Structure 1
Amino acid sequence: MTSTAVTTVFVTGGAGFIGSAVVRELLRRDNIRVINLDKLTYAGNVDSLREVGGSPHHHFVQADITDSEHLNQLFEEFQPDIVMHLAAESHVDRSIDGPSEFIQTNIIGTYHLLEAARSYWNNLKQQQPERSFRFHHISTDEVYGDLEGPEDLFTETTPYAPSSPYSASKASSDHLVRAWGRTYGLPVVITNCSNNYGPYHFPEKLIPLMILNALAGKPLPVYGDGKQVRDWLYVEDHARALIKVAMEGVNGETYNIGGHNEKQNIEVVQTLCSLLEELAPAKPNGITHYTDLITYVQDRPGHDLRYAIDASKIERELGWTPQETFESGLRKTVQWYLENEDWWRRVQDGSYQGERLGAAEVV
């Protein structure tokens, strides 16, 4: 991306689930400096960055992407070559209960970040015309709504039809990024991904929620009949794909990233139960089988029936394919939660939040 020896990458939301995976993957590579920006809301967890805590190439900044003055200062100070924008409110149920934060962070925050990037890039063109710059916006397949036919797939040209306040806010941010690319010439790329899973996943999400509820002998709540279909993508595969796009993607292009793992929600829960039977056979509360804990609950409003990604473009043009199958990735995920009880216990009891203000010291 640049003529300098070291590439500086801004990662917004870098203490979140996907963001921290991107940070960890970037820092496994040579000649990369990561400037990690995170507001540290409830979903930001510095415990997820312990692996890179001693790296001299990782600089953590507690920052709010709606604070334009601070953003301008950070661009001026660190002079990034690439911005990877992952900071977002992302939980559908929370967006239904309280959409305001989603509008503020996902739309207004993206606007302020785009404006800071545009100002920085305009100055960069004048002062260092040989330097390249890229703004990579990370989005979701939920902006497309849901699919009707069992063989249909989301492509990069599928019309947007968001169903929830969350997906509507992400669709809005996608449109802003494309507009800033077309109107102002800002070098942008966009990726839309399917459902992620893996280590360090916040326990409100389906897979970690089911794992931890099962280990505690609590009900495993499944919306409706559980036949909603999602394409599942292992988070470390996603991180590798995002870095591939950030480094090698074509400006102005969109790339869909999927795991080729379409599963009904009930299939996911049943597979988790089978893995737990094998990996954690000592069950709590005298239950006989983990599947005995499955409970069907009222479906949520506007629940999309099926998502499925056509990831052929990124495979064809950039040579990326997922390394994990659903079976291998899910096994790794269950094993990680069994081996990292200290991490999820601190999330459950809220003690991880106590280190927010000292985040710069621990990373």
Structure 2
Amino acid sequence: MIYFDNSATTAIDPQVLRTFTEVSTKIMGNPSSLHSLGTTATRLLEASRRQIAELLGIKAEEVYFTSGGTEGDNWVLKGVAFEKRPYGNHIIVSSVEHPAVKNTAEWLKTQGFEVDYAPVDAQGAVDLEALKKLIRAETILISVMAVNNEVGTIQPIAALSELLKDKPTISFHVDAVQAIGKIPVADWLTSRVDFATLSAHKFHGPRGVGIVIAKSGKRLVPLLHGGGQEHNRRSTTENLAGIAATAKALRLALTDEAFKREKVAAMKEVIQNELKKHDKVVLFSQKEGFAPNILTFGIRGVRGEVVVHAFEQHDIFISTTSACSSKKNAAAGTLVAMNVANKLATSAVRLSLDSTNNMAEVEQFLTVFRQIYQELEKVSG
């Protein structure tokens, strides 16, 4: 089997799984309990929080644990919106955000908030001048992802941070779910970023664990009320085993990350160079300005799901666009925002590579691609 769908989810690292199993079996206490077993659990919880904070270069009290990226995005957008409602009701998100952000923004419109979508250029990068023109006195939140999940565009977070430097009343949120290990932390977690969201299963951690970064002094209305866990901001019994495993996964992901990025980028370049040789192939992802792991392309006249299933017959697994929308058989929202024609956009398929992949897999993929391309070329004319 060749797995080139790592942006959808990654396989849990054996070391991470070992941590999860050990904590699950050896530390049975609830961190909220007063007895010694609870104290032991609390120590591990806080040690995991400190390790994650240290790896990200932030304070431990700025790390909050959630169930994943979707909850994190919902919490930040809704939490900021309702916290700052007395000061304004206007929110800006980019037109290429993940549904966890876009659909949350749409829901907030039903609650009386106004939402504008910042346009992107032909590469899928946010148009800074257009976004600047959308800002008004009532703007309370801007949300832009670090790395696009459908085509891999790296968004100009540093430039956005500079733009917002003299606008302290606007909260700045970055969905960094696709960023860990793909671009340096400093590229998306700037001093101007107020909130950020992560998801463990995107970097070989367990599913069902996420992280919200909320900088000191930045307030969020809680989504969940109950026992007062996570400093009374996110009530529910902590997934201790998952959290400890996530700390391990993050440490492993950020170890030798430059080397891993170079390895992945080299594999992507080999595939790109081969795809360019075929007239009916359209590349939606490029080398410069894009994450090293994501390569989205299409074969003219062939729907993406046809290509996905053709590769699956050879035990090679890729995706149409994002995992959250791939079963809807719709054009990738990012490509539509990039003004790609609908017929061409529906041809898109996404390869998402990982440092666990290798050149032998790349060569096998290309061998199969050439075979599939010839077969589809006959059918599509």
TM superposition score category, shorter chain reference: 0.3 to 0.5
TM-score by length of 1: 0.34
The structure whose Rg is larger is 2
TM-score by length of 2: 0.33
